[in-house]
Structure 1
Amino acid sequence: MRRSGSRGVDRVERALLTVLRPDQVKTDDASLRVAARDASLVRPTPPAVVCLAESHDDVVAMMTIAADLGVPVVPRGAGTGLAGGAVPSGGAIVVSTARMNRVLDVDRDNGSARVQPGVVNLDLDRLLRSTGFHFSPDPSSQQVCTLGGNVANNSGGPHCLAYGVTSAHVLAVRVVLVGGEVVDLGGDDPEPCGLDLRGAFIGGEGTLGIATEITVAITPNPPVTRTLLLAYADMTSAANTVSSIIAAGIVPAAMEVMDQGIVRAIEQYVGAGYPTDAGAVLLVEVEGLEGGVAANEVAIRGIAERMGATSIRTAVDEAERALLWKGRKTAFGAVANIAPDYYLHDTVVPRARLASVLDEVASIGVRHRLMIVNVFHAGDGNLHPLIVFDRRDPGVLERVHEAGADIVRASLAAGGVLSGEHGIGIEKQEFMSAMFTDDDLDHQNRLRRSFDPLGLSNPGKVLPSSHSCADIQQLSSVPAGVWL
């Protein structure tokens, strides 16, 4: 069914149809509803129109029309974001890059690949593995999330401990600004002259423009990989093991902690072989040359024993290793075995404060009468508390959001930061002033306006309204704190 539009919507649609095919311009109710939300709990807002970009030129045409008509533009990848970053403002054009999904070039000699923004993270990784390389950032949503979204949120994943988040693997980005101007940020030179505008764009959450081509560094596959599963009676012992491993000078490729609640859900879901009687499990992966990996495994086993590990297991082959990681990567889906809904949070705290902050998270759950399970990137202190609930329960959503806010406050009080990889979006706008000074926020807004003077690129996101340009405030109809 076609959605009945206003004159403004019809005007936008007519303009877009002068540069795009009819099947690329969607105004039907189903398309608008899908594009109205992402994976967050932010209340959906239907856009005016959804455009399915198929090329760089399509994006240039859309951004030119947006500027001419003064209409906001919201970039959209796979819609897997968890902070409301892809929830459109009212009357916006949603530009979907999902059809821009080609790997344009793989240069093994120079260790790079050029891709379009709609390439799925895991598809690129699988393509590269057969050539002796891989793409290191591996978010839990890598089966569906796209490279454009990874760049927008500066995504991480379990292996960012050793390899770094997306910004460490992006060499260059071709960007279309509002108005249709095209800029190439970064390049092959590891130390380019001038300002690092590539770095400024990555993590911009779509507020600076739309990426149409991304050049990424690809990583040689390690000669040897060994994966250990350590079990503990309690979360504190697992968290302290993480700190002790790093203190010993060992930097594994990944260190992931899961508590008993999520472990039991995972076992019901995929049967990964995790011990369900453990209070917490720690998944540690080490990579490199055989001698170094073997030495690190011995050292980690010794630390685990001193920290009170109740069992220590090393995957005997690739099949067992893959199963252990399947459990970790399907943790969020496994939550359905506990409750039908969840709110996944994302903050980062100093490793030395992991145990105390996790104790506070548990207290927050008790205080708000909610179940919270934990699965997180322990190596870099990136917490992902999962508040599980049933939204049909009266008043539960209010308690869920109050608990989420308390988790953010506890993380900041411990010297942490608002987000490790999910971004700010709408979810954490209200906390930006708690982390940054007025001068900080003013300079962030100045940077934003240098890319987008009209304030039309993903308005109403990241910066609180008191520190955002006036035209953005007027365009946005998605104020912070509007939740399902």
Structure 2
Amino acid sequence: MLPVDESIVQRRHLIAECLRRIVGQEWVLDNEAERRPYECDGFTAYSALPLLVVLPDSTEQVRGVLEYCREERIKIVPRGSGTSLSGGALPVEDGIVLGTARMNRILEVDAENRVARVQPGVPNVRVTEAVQHLGLCYMPDPSSQAIATIGGNAAENSGGVHCFKYGVTSNHITGMEAVLLTGDVIRFGGPFVGGTDGEFDLTGVLIGSEGMLAIITEITVRLTPQPPIARVLSLGFANVEDASRCVGAIIAHGIIPAGLEFMDRKVIDTVSSMLGEIHPPEVQAILLCELDGTAIEVDALVARVEVIAREIGLAELRISKTETEREQLWQGRKAAFGAMGKIARDVYVTDGTIPRGKLPEVLRRIENLSKTYGLEYANCFHAGDGNLHPMVLFDSARPGDLEKAEAFGADVLKACVDLGGVLSGEHGVGIEKRDLMPYQFNDADLAQQLGLKCAFDPDELLNPGKVFPTPCRCVELGRMRMRDGKMRFAGIPRF
């Protein structure tokens, strides 16, 4: 065991006492057993024990924490429920974790304007539960929605099963409150759709910013009327190529499903063993296609999708007739990622996005990469918007496996960019994709993004080490000028 650095212990004790004056005695976690659960998020390949964990319960307490940390130059890593799969909430050992778990209240439901004001620690699914009696719902639904928080969804711009038709998190936020490192509380947008009109879209800047610009303390979300009817088709195909072609064919016919999800045979077998289902051996891939609207509209769309799928080569068809059957068909998809633990000690999930027409090609590349690295994989993803989630199966206890899994995942992401796609669809960059950023963005692209980071966080204290492959160096950026025909920063504005 390494000797304990007494200076670190003393510093931790001093910071803890100061933060307790802000948030209360019991809401600063300083002993190792209390801090250990915060050492990583859903990207478990890397971990670090934070100096402290602080759990504020109001905007005013967040403001006090940020003012103190800025004065003392203490790094801050924001965290919701820790479901991030990109290492976005990975702590730093010389900084604190600021958790939003106590900020978990639904502050207001405005049914007339179809919005709700919520704190960032509210779990995604709780919003729908709170408004479903009004015939409304909150449409973004990541697989982790039972525990993933609205604040975390906003930080990563999460999607979910219904994002193809209804949009990702950014399409469902009309306003936001946040606290800057200066302690200033800022509000963008408003309590109605179109609330950001007439201003710079700083709400859009904060959504997807991965906790690097400010701490979000309140979010106004758009509520959507629940569709009158929703039915699901489970379309089984003999190979992944036919399933991929069916995705393009459905959309080419002008049909926009509420959800269009892909599962390969490994996923099918694993979730079927949990749910007691049986699929014929000739089914190697399944598309789950949800169609919603009025009863007449949905019945007509179901018939059209069935015809399209049969023309491509349908091997199995199941169609929900009741709400219970619809939920049963979705059970396997929602359980897919957790179910992988039945067949692999470790699972590395990545998150590239491609044009839909490139699905067959990228799936062939993933198969070839599996052979190259000698690792198995499983595919389960949002087919409608081309958001891939290949799961690399490995054993971290076996020497070299983690390195091979990371290289496999990196090559998948590079393939996505090569095919006209991007590095992330909804999981964010975090530390997982950080060193791949230059593969998608050139120096000028990255410098412009760094300039924005520096405008909000000139001291580089918020979620350091994430997204950008090199340190921000705000001071150096501020000194740069336009020269030699290349973009340079003449100065970094500060809020």
With structure 1 as the length reference, what TM-score do the two structures score?
0.94
Task: Identify the residue that residue 320 of structure 2 maps to in structure 1.
Answer: 315
- 2:23 is paired with a residue whose SS is coil
Task: Identify the residue that residue 195 of structure 1 maps to in structure 2.
Answer: 200
- 1:383 is paired with a residue whose SS is coil
Task: Identify the residue that residue 34 of structure 2 maps to in structure 1.
Answer: 31
- Which deviates the most, 460-469 or 425-434? 460-469
**How many Å apart are 1:7 and its aligned residue?**
3.3
Q: Which amino acid aligns with 2:100?
A: T
Q: Greater RCO between the two (CA within 8 Å, min separation 6)? A: 1
Match of 2:339 among 330, 334, 337: 334
**2:311 pairs with 1:301:** no
The CA distance in 2 between the partners of 1:63 and 1:274, in whole Å, is 54
Task: Identify the residue that residue 74 of structure 1 maps to in structure 2.
Answer: 77
Match of 1:100 among 77, 99, 103: 103
Task: Identify the residue that residue 136 of structure 1 maps to in structure 2.
Answer: 139
Residue pairs, 1:151-170, within 5 angstroms: 151-170=154-173
Q: Which amino acid aligns with 2:264?
A: D
Provide, for residues 199-241 of structure 1, a one-character-per-residue CA deviation record: whole Å limited to 9, x for no partner: 0100000001111111000000001111100000000000100
Q: Is the 8 A contact 2:283 2:316 kept in 1?
A: no
Residue pairs, 1:29-428, within 5 angstroms: 29-187=32-190, 188=192, 190=194, 192-271=197-276, 275=280, 277-428=282-433
Q: Is the 8 A contact 1:441 1:467 kept in 2?
A: no
Q: Which amino acid aligns with 1:257?
A: F
Task: Identify the residue that residue 480 of structure 1 maps to in structure 2.
Answer: none
Instruction: Assess, with a 3 A threshold, how the Cα gap between structure 1 residues 471 and 38 changes in structure 2: closer, same or farther.
Output: farther
Q: Which amino acid aligns with 1:77?
A: G
- Which deviates the most, 67-76 or 310-319? 310-319
The CA distance in 2 between the partners of 1:132 and 1:468, in whole Å, is 50
**How many Å apart are 1:128 and its aligned residue?**
2.0
- 1:263 is paired with a residue whose SS is helix
Provide, for residues 88-129 of structure 1, a one-character-per-residue CA deviation record: whole Å limited to 9, x for no partner: 122111111011111111111100001111111112222222
Provide, for residues 46-93 of structure 1, a one-character-per-residue CA deviation record: whole Å limited to 9, x for no partner: 111100111111111111111110111111100010101100122111
Q: Which amino acid aligns with 1:29?
A: E
Q: Is the 8 A contact 1:102 1:115 kept in 2?
A: yes
The CA distance in 2 between the partners of 1:243 and 1:216, in whole Å, is 31
**How many Å apart are 1:183 and its aligned residue?**
0.5
The CA distance in 1 between the partners of 2:136 and 2:476, in whole Å, is 45
**How many Å apart are 1:469 and its aligned residue?**
3.4
Moved over 6 A (4+): none
- Which deviates the most, 14-23 or 419-428? 14-23
Provide, for residues 285-331 of structure 1, a one-character-per-residue CA deviation record: whole Å limited to 9, x for no partner: 01112222122111111110111011222112111111111110000
Provide, for residues 233-284 of structure 1, a one-character-per-residue CA deviation record: whole Å limited to 9, x for no partner: 0000001000011111111100001000110000112235655641000000
Runs of at least 5 residues in structure 2 that lack an aligned partner in the other structure: 478-495
Q: Which amino acid aligns with 1:258?
A: M
Q: Is the 8 A contact 1:271 1:327 kept in 2?
A: no
The CA distance in 2 between the partners of 1:282 and 1:467, in whole Å, is 43
**How many Å apart are 1:20 and its aligned residue?**
2.4
The CA distance in 1 between the partners of 2:438 and 2:319, in whole Å, is 45
The CA distance in 1 between the partners of 2:245 and 2:432, in whole Å, is 30
The CA distance in 1 between the partners of 2:104 and 2:20, in whole Å, is 22
Instruction: Assess, with a 3 A threshold, how the Cα gap between structure 1 residues 134 and 271 changes in structure 2: closer, same or farther.
Output: farther
The CA distance in 1 between the partners of 2:274 and 2:447, in whole Å, is 47
Q: Which amino acid aligns with 1:247?
A: A
- 2:314 is paired with a residue whose SS is coil
- 2:384 is paired with a residue whose SS is helix
**How many Å apart are 1:189 and its aligned residue?**
5.7
Q: Is the 8 A contact 1:114 1:214 kept in 2?
A: yes
Identity rate, percent: 41
Q: Which amino acid aligns with 1:415?
A: G
The CA distance in 1 between the partners of 2:328 and 2:280, in whole Å, is 14
With structure 2 as the length reference, what TM-score do the two structures score?
0.92
Q: Is the 8 A contact 1:12 1:69 kept in 2?
A: no
- 1:95 is paired with a residue whose SS is strand
Q: Is the 8 A contact 2:234 2:289 kept in 1?
A: yes
- Which deviates the most, 279-288 or 316-325? 316-325
The CA distance in 1 between the partners of 2:160 and 2:440, in whole Å, is 23
Instruction: Assess, with a 3 A threshold, how the Cα gap between structure 1 residues 46 and 40 changes in structure 2: closer, same or farther.
Output: same
Runs of at least 5 residues in structure 1 that lack an aligned partner in the other structure: 473-484
Instruction: Assess, with a 3 A threshold, how the Cα gap between structure 1 residues 251 and 189 changes in structure 2: closer, same or farther.
Output: closer
Match of 1:451 among 449, 456, 471: 456
The CA distance in 1 between the partners of 2:475 and 2:9, in whole Å, is 25
**How many Å apart are 1:453 and its aligned residue?**
1.9
The CA distance in 2 between the partners of 1:148 and 1:362, in whole Å, is 36
Q: Which amino acid aligns with 1:436?
A: F
